[in-house]
């Protein structure tokens, strides 16, 4: 069936046990030229298991405690379940145990990933060109699990001379439909193909793919093999496969995402002019109304001020009421102006939300003490709802500032917004895209807030 797209893949036998200081390129060249093997040719792609590079580069370390080695390699915990940790390592790779491997290494030692897998791949590519005179691509592979998929597969963690991504955006499919999001991870596909013949325990750490020379950067092109740009595609190594944090929609596990959202919830006082997605605010409201409340009630209401006209009308009326109160308290005009300016955060925000408390379902008691406690329960529930709301906004990458000012002129707020008499405004929340990252905040020692009996 000549002419049909096809490729060959085979494992390369004859690679001896690798030790620190070994030249992997020379070991591969010797194995590839053994009698009975097809050798290496221009356009071949080699898949090299990272473990043999780790051994050659001295990345075997004593570690009676593997967890300590994982701690040293990890920069961020993505998810944790019992002893299992999915972490981001210093290479930007998100994987189990930071790639620290206790298999295929003497007892009491662990293997760390190569210091720079792209550089390792470039050395092998250059060594094979110098030794055999061939222009090949090199992919350094390691085993990964994948979200939402059972089982493991090999992926590329280093590459040289290979177009690791095939960007099809801007083209069309067979029916003429535009391709707007299709970028193929070619290097990962090559890694998985090689793993089919290498196996996980067969002692075959190198595989060769032949017939896909179009993915190999031509010899002699500026940047080929050194991480620079090459004609017809970029030879930028496997780092191009690591998704930027800003584009990563699944950056954290569930519990870690909740904790990070709580940490990210900061008071923001300067916003950009970017419009706020009302859908994101409504999703935050959906999180807010999952808060606990007494007597199976739903004491929260959220008034969304999406038009500039409604925001200005409310804030002007609140300002006038506040100024009248301050004058009645005997403040000077200078002091009044300074205090009024504190409310500017609400004017600067492109979106306002007024959370309200309603007492529907509350109980009435014959004495004032229990009635006061009943209201306190509902106020606590309202606060829990507002906290949920603020944390959910942070999860949507929206900044917010809760300001208590509506609580000092509730009748004015109800009148301007046309709210029922039993809706109790509980402050206002300014919402928008933060104009800058908030300043660092000193960590609080939780033990300072804990009393044990």
DSSP result, 83-126: TEEEEEETTS-EEEGGG-B-SSS-TTEEEPPPS-HHHHHHHHHH
Query: Could you give the dihedral angle defined by the CA atoms of residues 97, 245, 155 and 45, in that order, rounded to the nearest 10 degrees?
Result: -140
User: Contact, 100 vs 66, CB < 8 A?
Assistant: yes
Strand pairing category for 45-49 and 137-146: parallel
197 phi, psi to nearest 5 deg: -105, -25
- Residue 332 to residue 12: CA distance in whole angstroms: 87
d(CA 122, CA 239): 13
135 vs 10: CA distance, rounded Å: 18
Picking from 146, 183, 206, the residue whose alpha carbon sits closest to that of residue 25 is: 206
Q: How far apart are CA 425 and CA 128, in angstroms?
A: 73
pTM greater than 0.85? no
From first to last of its 453 residues, the chain has per-residue pLDDT tens of 567 889 999 999 999 999 999 999 999 999 999 988 899 999 999 999 999 999 999 998 887 778 888 888 999 888 887 778 889 999 999 998 888 988 778 788 889 999 999 999 999 999 999 999 999 999 999 999 888 889 999 999 999 999 999 887 777 777 777 777 678 899 999 999 999 999 766 789 999 999 999 999 987 654 444 444 333 345 689 999 998 887 787 777 777 777 777 777 888 989 999 999 999 999 999 999 999 999 999 999 999 999 999 999 999 999 999 889 889 989 898 888 888 887 788 999 999 999 999 999 999 999 999 999 999 999 999 999 999 999 999 888 899 999 998 999 999 999 999 999 999 999 999 999 999 887 877 888 989 999 999
Q: What share of the chain is helix, strand, coil (3-state, %, to 5)?
A: 40, 20, 40
CB atoms closer than 10 angstroms to residue 397: 12
């Amino acid at each position: 069936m000549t002419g049909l797209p096809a490729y060959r893949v085979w494992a390369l036998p004859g690679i001896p046990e690798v030790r620190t200081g070994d030249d992997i390129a020379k070991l591969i060249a010797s194995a590839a030229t053994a009698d009975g093997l097809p050798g290496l040719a221009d356009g071949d792609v080699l898949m090299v298991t990272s473990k043999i590079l780790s051994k050659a580069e001295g990345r075997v370390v004593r570690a009676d405690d593997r967890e300590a080695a994982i701690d040293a390699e990890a920069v961020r915990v993505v998810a944790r379940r019992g002893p299992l940790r999915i972490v981001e390592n210093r290479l930007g790779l998100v994987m189990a145990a930071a790639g620290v491997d206790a298999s295929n290494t003497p007892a009491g030692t662990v293997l760390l990933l190569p210091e720079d897998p792209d550089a390792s791949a470039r050395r092998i590519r250059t060594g094979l060109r110098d030794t055999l005179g061939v222009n090949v691509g090199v992919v350094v592979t390691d085993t990964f699990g994948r979200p939402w998929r059972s089982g493991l597969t090999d992926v590329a963690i280093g590459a040289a001379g290979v177009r690791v991504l095939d960007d099809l955006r801007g083209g069309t499919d067979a029916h003429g439909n535009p391709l707007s999001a299709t970028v193929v991870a070619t290097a990962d596909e090559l890694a998985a193909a090689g793993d089919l013949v290498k196996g996980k325990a067969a002692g075959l750490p190198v595989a060769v793919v032949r017939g896909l020379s179009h993915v190999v950067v031509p010899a002699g092109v500026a940047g080929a093999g050194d991480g620079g740009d090459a004609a017809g595609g970029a030879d930028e190594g496997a780092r191009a496969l690591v998704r930027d944090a800003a584009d990563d929609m699944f950056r954290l596990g569930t519990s870690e995402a909740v904790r990070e959202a709580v940490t990210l919830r900061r008071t923001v006082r300067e916003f950009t002019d970017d419009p706020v997605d009302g859908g994101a605010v409504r999703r935050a409201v959906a999180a807010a109304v999952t808060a606990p409340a007494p007597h199976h009630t739903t004491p929260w209401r959220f008034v969304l001020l999406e038009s500039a006209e409604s925001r200005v009308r409310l804030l002007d009326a609140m300002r006038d009421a506040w100024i009248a109160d301050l004058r009645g308290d005997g403040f000077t005009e200078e002091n009044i102006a300074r205090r009024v300016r504190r409310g500017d955060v609400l004017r600067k925000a492109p979106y306002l939300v007024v959370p309200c408390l309603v007492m529907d379902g509350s109980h009435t008691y014959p004495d004032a003490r229990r009635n006061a406690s009943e209201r306190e329960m509902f106020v606590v529930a309202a606060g829990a709802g507002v906290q949920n709301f603020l944390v959910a906004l942070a999860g949507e990458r929206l900044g917010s500032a809760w300001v208590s000012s509506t609580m000092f002129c509730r009748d004015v707020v109800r009148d301007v917004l046309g709210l029922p008499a039993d809706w109790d405004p509980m402050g206002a929340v300014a919402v928008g895209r933060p104009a800058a990252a908030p300043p660092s905040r000193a960590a609080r020692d939780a033990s300072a807030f804990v009393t044990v009996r």
